[in-house]
Amino acid sequence: MPASLTARSVENAKPDPARRLELPDGALPGFYLVVQPSGAKSWAVRYRADGKPKKFTLGPYPRLSLGDARDQARAALRLASEGRDPSALRIAAEREVDAANKLRFGAVVTEFIERYAKPRNRTWPETERLLTKTDLAPWQDRDIRSITRQEILTLLDRMVERGAPIQANRLVAALRRFFGWAIERGLLEASPMASLKPPSIEAHRDRVLSDEELRAIWLAADEIGYPFGRAVQLMILTGQRRSEVLETQWPEFDLNRACWTIPRERSKNGGAHIVPLSPAAVRLIGSLPRLGSPQGLLFTTTGETPFSGVSKAVHRLTARAPKHMPSGQPLEPWRLHDLRRTFATGCARLGVPLHVVEKSLNHTSGTFSGIVAVYQRHDFLDERRKAAEAWATHVLELIRSSGV
């Protein structure tokens, strides 16, 4: 009868370069120390199931000690004596764990972002933040099937109570898309978001800057200078989105042709957008320093990453603007997106047709929605160039009227 395995005998067991060794434990028949020719050691149990010999690997040594391995071996042999196959039971348990991991909220969110959000929406980082950070951080290891409508409502109520009603609305939209996608993928039978409405009413924002406010913002931006001040001035002249301006790169510009091509990867509606540039915009762009790679960003302090700290920069700009306002009055609350709306309204005041304004803004709604979007392929580039030049002339007249 073989001797009982001991901690010392296990430690001192030497490999045979020519073959694998199985050293039986005299204290527990069927329990073995397996020593590979490489010297790696592990524990195994041999037993019979359905009349056939089988081997069940318990785990590696020394991660699994002799005492723990022997306990696990006893349990496995007990199952075998009861007619239950420990190897088959482990495989079934591992499959259950794998299935549970696949339904883990965090894992499903990761797949949702990669397969759905990234290919469709350039604002996917915000969706990812909403579904993984702060409020939903405790959900990451949850089974998505365990998330109930009531706890979602409780979470939204808490967000509203702490003063984040708009964020709560955004979370509702993100969760609705997420759970809907999970149903399409066969991960859920029903969505806890069904018929759930955003918790807060959002007032439609229609802030348009007056000529005096626009002049004050331009002059304050001039004082701040590069990079943020110049970025704001380019937003004023072109009416393009904040992210499209702040993340723009030099290869997107052909200043000889006075054109800026926003690639589809950065365009909100998923299609490349040509922006005709007024002479004022060309001069502004041509005056910018080039930091980092010649193929790099227009607005950067590092030469490698886009300008950050936008909220603080807007605050600094707003603090400087009153001295350029009549009687030094402060600006009413405003956002960078208001520059885009001001561009649209200003162009309309100058007699630019609505369809040209919408093309300038790269809108696919309004006059270019539905079937019109399918069949209307004319880009109105000449008309948009005239509109950009008329708007820039208006802006420069405002600046000159300030004596600058």
Q: Is 77 found in the same domain as 112? A: no
Query: Tens digit of pLDDT for each residue in 45-54?
Result: 998 888 888 8
* Structural contact between residues 377 and 368, judged by C-beta atoms closer than 8 angstroms: no
Question: Considering the domain boundaries, does residue 191 fall inside one?
Answer: no
Q: Are residues 237 and 376 in the same domain?
A: yes
- Distance CA(353)–CA(332), nearest Å, equals 29
Instruction: Supply the range of the domain harboring residue 53.
Output: 7-84
Any idea what the CATH number is for the domain that residue 279 is in?
1.10.443.10
Q: Is residue 93 included in any domain, yes or no?
A: no
Element (H, E) at 235: helix 228-238
With bands split at pLDDT 50, 70 and 90, how would you rate the model's confidence at 101? low
79 within domain boundaries: yes
Same domain, 120 and 231: no
Q: Indicate whether 109 belongs to any domain.
A: yes
Q: Is 194 part of any domain?
A: no
Computed over every residue of the chain, the mean pLDDT equals: 88
- Residues 396 and 266 reside in one and the same domain: yes
Residue 75 belongs to domain with CATH number: 3.30.160.390
354 and 284 within one domain: yes
Any domain includes 89: no
Residue 365 and residue 258 share a domain: yes
Q: Percentage of the chain surpassing pLDDT 70?
A: 92
Q: Are residues 285 and 365 in the same domain?
A: yes
Query: How many structural domains are present in the chain?
Result: 3
Asked if residue 178 belongs to a domain, the reply is yes
Condensed to tens digits (0 to 9), the pLDDT of residues 269-296 reads: 667 899 999 999 999 999 999 988 878 9
Residue 355, Cβ density class (10 Å: 0-12 exposed, 13-18 middle, ≥19 buried): middle
Residue 40 belongs to a domain: yes
Strands in 41-49's sheet, in edge-to-edge order, are 21-24, 31-35, 41-49, 52-61
> pTM for this structure?
0.56
CB 195 within 8 A of CB 154: no
Summarize pLDDT for 379-396 with one digit per residue, the tens.
Answer: 789 999 999 999 999 999
Q: Rounded to whole angstroms, how far apart are CA atoms 58 and 46?
A: 11
- 368 and 224 assigned to the same domain: yes
Say what the pLDDT of residue 404 is.
54
Separation of alpha carbons 16 and 240, rounded Å: 73
- Residue type, position 229, single letter: G
pLDDT confidence tier of residue 1, bands split at 50, 70 and 90: low
Question: Each residue of 242-258: pLDDT tens digit?
Answer: 989 999 999 999 999 99
Same domain, 173 and 217: no
Q: Is there a single domain that holds both residue 243 and residue 364?
A: yes
Are 199 and 160 in contact by the 8 Å Cβ rule? The answer is: yes
- Let me know whether 257 and 387 are in one domain: yes
Highest mean pLDDT of the ranges 96-100, 119-123, 181-185: 181-185
3-state SS, residue 260: strand
